[in-house]
Amino acid sequence: MSFGKYFSVFNKLTASEQEALLNETVLRRVPAGTLITAGSDSCIGVVVVRSGQLREYITSEDGREMTVARLFGHDISILSASCIMNSINFDIYLSAEKDSEFWVIPPQLYRQLVEKSAPLANYTNRLLAASMTDIMWMAQQVLWKGIDRRLAHFLLDESAIEDSLTLKITHEAIAGHIGTAREVVTRMLRTFQSDGLVKLSRGCIEIIDIEKLEELDE
Amino acid sequence: MSFGKYFSVFNKLTASEQEALLNETVLRRVPAGTLITAGSDSCIGVVVVRSGQLREYITSEDGREMTVARLFGHDISILSASCIMNSINFDIYLSAEKDSEFWVIPPQLYRQLVEKSAPLANYTNRLLAASMTDIMWMAQQVLWKGIDRRLAHFLLDESAIEDSLTLKITHEAIAGHIGTAREVVTRMLRTFQSDGLVKLSRGCIEIIDIEKLEELDE
């Protein structure tokens, strides 16, 4: 089991802590589109990504979505174990954007281990701090940056992830990433098209002028 | 020194850890209006509030402000010690809204103690989780709620803090709390006045219809 290579604090734990982790941690494989956790009702535990692509996001009462972070191999979701921390009072959703493999450390086990282990508690501090930085980054985007800059940033990000200038993604999906409505995305993409930044066709966005997009994202 | 009553993990620490804390922790008194830390350049350490009222906030490149949390006696700012965590990559400002007293635990000492102590590391996890919840709450306000709801919430909050329906606060200061421009606050307050929610006079906002404000805040 290569779990230890992905959960980097593993080697600092005691033999019995390592054994408990290896015994109770479960490897899961899910197809793209799977909803892995939906808020506090389904706190599944700490998710350690082996491969694929996951998305952490929040939702509004009327069903709008906003991406908090996108996770790849070696990334860890501590927010999917929010029930471990009594002081986390918000709902996080986790879904698979691509076919994915990940380990799940059960919340009861994690809570029990972290109470006794200074290395694991300090590692958890770093995970929490990193998630807090993701949330703050998202908040600052929304507070200080217009939809044009958020959309430009998302297109560049997606292009880097897919390693392609041609993005196959719906306007609805983009809206869920940047926390706005589909109509707003469609309108802004048309403006981008008029300005020569992208070319739109059915289900497809082609990036034409990456430098101008990067200027927008600055 | 009553520090131990305010830093509630104190009794779970070893005698030598307690001694190090008591030796190096400093009690400070500052007048209202003092800027206590300004971003990562001045990471002063963990702030434990004894009395008064502090404000954690972020700023945009062009100088706009947004309140993350308001702290009172027994509250703790872990974000003022963000340099302890390498993975926190944003700047937090801390200022005194009223004459305040607080203890500061130096960051070097805190880092040294937390590495070895499971109780302190777990306590830090809870502080981080609570701050993360503050940041997420702020993000969700901005994402999903209009300026009218943010303003209504702020007025109710301020009224509860001051225990008064008459608030002596400038439109500029309110703008810095809810992350918008002064003009927007002025315009929205005038709308509130037309709707019979508040009455405006020089430097003063009187809450007339608290129930309607609460409805807005729901």
Q: Are residues B101 and B165 in the same domain?
A: no
Q: Identify whether the C-beta of residue B3 lies closer than 8 Å to the C-beta of residue B48.
A: yes
Across the interface, whether the CB atoms of B121 and A122 are under 8 A apart is answered yes
Q: Are residues B58 and B82 in the same domain?
A: yes
Give the integer Cα–Cα distance in Å for B113 and B96.
28
Give the integer Cα–Cα distance in Å for B148 and B103.
37
Q: Which of A75, A110, A142 is the endpoint of a domain?
A: A142
Distances (CA, A) of A45 to A24, A42, A110, A111: 11, 9, 8, 10
Chain A residues close to B66, C-beta within 8 Å: 143
- DSSP label of A27: E
Query: For residue range B10-65, what is the model confidence (pLDDT) as tens digits?
Result: 999 999 999 999 999 999 999 999 999 987 667 899 999 999 999 999 998 888 89
List, in sequence order, every residue forming a beta bridge with B203; answer none if it has no partner.
Answer: none
Tell which of A140, A178, A217 to mutate to test the B interface (max B CBs under 10 Å).
A140
Across the interface, whether the CB atoms of B136 and A61 are under 8 A apart is answered no
A35 at interface of B, judged by CB pairs closer than 8 A:
no
What single string gives the DSSP state of each residue in A77-143? Answer: ESGGGGGGSTT--S--EEEESSSEEEEEE-HHHHHHHHHH-HHHHHHHHHHHHHHHHHHHHHHHHHH
Query: For residue range B141-150, what is the model confidence (pLDDT) as tens digits?
Result: 888 888 999 9
Q: Identify whether the C-beta of residue A58 lies closer than 8 Å to the C-beta of residue B140.
A: yes
Kindly state the tokens that stand for B37: 């830390």
Q: Are residues B133 and B204 in the same domain?
A: no
Q: Identify whether the C-beta of residue A85 lies closer than 8 Å to the C-beta of residue B78.
A: no
The domain that holds A86 is classified in CATH as 2.60.120.10
Chain A residues close to B59, C-beta within 8 Å: none
Domain that holds residue B181: 145-217
The Cα of A129 is separated from the nearest Cα of chain B by a number of Å equal to 5
Task: Kindly indicate whether the ipTM for this predicted assembly is greater than 0.90, answering yes or no.
Answer: no
Q: Which of A118, A142, A166 is the endpoint of a domain?
A: A142
Q: Are residues A37 and A70 in the same domain?
A: yes
Q: Which of B81, B110, B143 is the endpoint of a domain?
A: B143
Q: Write out chain A's pLDDT in tens, 218 residues.
A: 589 999 999 999 999 999 999 999 999 999 999 999 987 667 899 999 999 999 999 998 888 899 999 999 999 999 998 888 777 778 899 999 999 999 999 999 999 999 999 999 999 999 999 999 999 999 998 888 889 999 999 999 999 999 999 999 999 999 999 998 899 999 999 999 999 999 999 889 999 999 999 999 88
A163 at interface of B, judged by CB pairs closer than 8 A:
no
Q: What do you get for the CA distance between the two ends of chain A, in Å?
A: 42
Q: Identify whether the C-beta of residue A56 lies closer than 8 Å to the C-beta of residue A67.
A: yes
The domain that holds B168 is classified in CATH as 1.10.10.10
Q: Are residues B108 and B183 in the same domain?
A: no
Q: Are residues A105 and A71 in the same domain?
A: yes
- The number of distinct structural domains making up chain A is 2
Q: Are residues B162 and B208 in the same domain?
A: yes
A139 at interface of B, judged by CB pairs closer than 8 A:
yes
Give the integer Cα–Cα distance in Å for B142 and B122.
30
* pTM, two decimal places: 0.90
